[in-house]
Amino acid sequence: DTGVSQDPRHKITKRGQNVTFRCDPISEHNRLYWYRQTLGQGPEFLTYFQNEAQLEKSRLLSDRFSAERPKGSFSTLEIQRTEQGDSAMYLCASSGLLENSPLHFGNGTRLTVT
């Protein structure tokens, strides 16, 4: 069990550019989540996958955001035409299929939009 891995750890981009983040969950976990966290706040839910199916999406996930999990393993989160308000820590988590399986979080990708 190597834990949840996220890449890159940090990303600095200019406003208007597109960025993509990757998450590799714990290998036997079927459920994968994306959250966003700004300084001093708790994480906010973005989206949830069970295997390759995207089952939940938050209203926070505007048209500029898209997430995929094509083979039910790793996931990508893309933000198009980034805005300064997108600056945040993007956290990925995974869990097993049991209903009360705890979430295991990665260390996040910190995005700074200049």
43 binds other proteins per the rule CB under 8 A: yes
**Dist CA 101 CA 1 (whole Å):** 15
Q: Is 2 in the site for other proteins (CB under 8 A)?
A: no
Please report whether residue 45 would count as binding other proteins according to CB under 8 A.
Answer: yes
Contact 19, 13 (CB under 8 A): yes
Between 59 and 71, name the residue whose CB sits nearer to other proteins. 59
Q: Report the chain's C-alpha Rg in angstroms.
A: 13
- 17 or 41: CB nearest other proteins: 41
Q: Which residue has the tokens 């995974």?
A: 94
Burial environment of residue 14 by CB neighbours within 10 A (0 to 12, 13 to 18, 19 or more): exposed
| CA distances, 13 to each of 10, 35, 102 (Å) | 10, 20, 33
- Using rule CB under 8 A, residue 79 touches other proteins: no
Q: Which is nearer to other proteins, 7 or 83 (CB)?
A: 7
Least gap, CB of 6 to other proteins (angstroms): 8
Which residues contact other proteins (rule: CB under 8 A)?
4, 31, 33, 40-45, 48, 55-56, 58, 91, 93, 100, 102-108, 110
